[in-house]
Amino acid sequence: MADFNKILTPGNIDDGTAHVVIEIPTGSNNKIEWNRQLGIFQLDRVEPAIFGKPTNYGFIPQTLDEDGDELDALVITADPLPTGIFLEAKIIGVMRFEDDGEVDDKIVFVPADDRSTGNAVNSLKDLPKQLLNQIEFHFNHYKDLKKPGTTIVRGWGDVEEAKAVIHESIERWNTKG
């Protein structure tokens, strides 16, 4: 299998887009992760069904977040996207997140060309408040059955904050990756 981190660039961040590789489709409770060393997707664990992902979940290639993993991506679409595909995605914000004391931010995206919405989503403000509440609730509680209180959403940031987080993660990849 191809190594996404060697083939795909992070994308054109300054123009507001990034490449995103999907690990977990919306609704799935399978925790699928990209194994960088083996160059393949791996089932890490199966979560309880009540903790299915509220959005598609993936990563931006050639980035490293402060937790040492590729920078996480939440991709909002009407239908689940399959594991292993990549897309050009429009940056719409960032969810500031902490997992077990480590920064583990999530960049929020929509497809760069989403004709189903008329490409009308350009920021977090364009999303239904209820969707943001559901995403926040999920990430605040998805580890409660195993390790209660170890995850916390610290807030939301705009497109410029998201770009800054991505640039920091690209720099980290270039120096440590």
Phi, psi (rounded to 5 degrees) for 7: -95, -50
Q: What is the CA radius of gyration of the chain?
A: 15
On whether 142 is known to bind a ligand per the annotation, the reply is yes
β-bridge mates for residue 90, sequence order: 17, 110
On whether 67 is known to bind a ligand per the annotation, the reply is yes
Q: What angle do CA 30, 84, 89 make, to 5 degrees?
A: 105
On whether 100 is known to bind a ligand per the annotation, the reply is no
On whether 113 is known to bind a ligand per the annotation, the reply is no
Rounded Cα–Cα distance for residues 29 and 142 (Å): 10
On whether 31 is known to bind a ligand per the annotation, the reply is yes
On whether 45 is known to bind a ligand per the annotation, the reply is yes
Q: What is the DSSP letter of 70?
A: P
Which residues 6+ apart lie within 8 Å of 128 measured at CB?
none
User: Which residues does the annotation place in the binding site for substrate?
Assistant: 31, 45, 57, 142
User: Which residues does the annotation place in the binding site for Mg(2+)?
Assistant: 67, 72, 104
User: Which residues does the annotation place in the binding site?
Assistant: 31, 45, 57, 67, 72, 104, 142
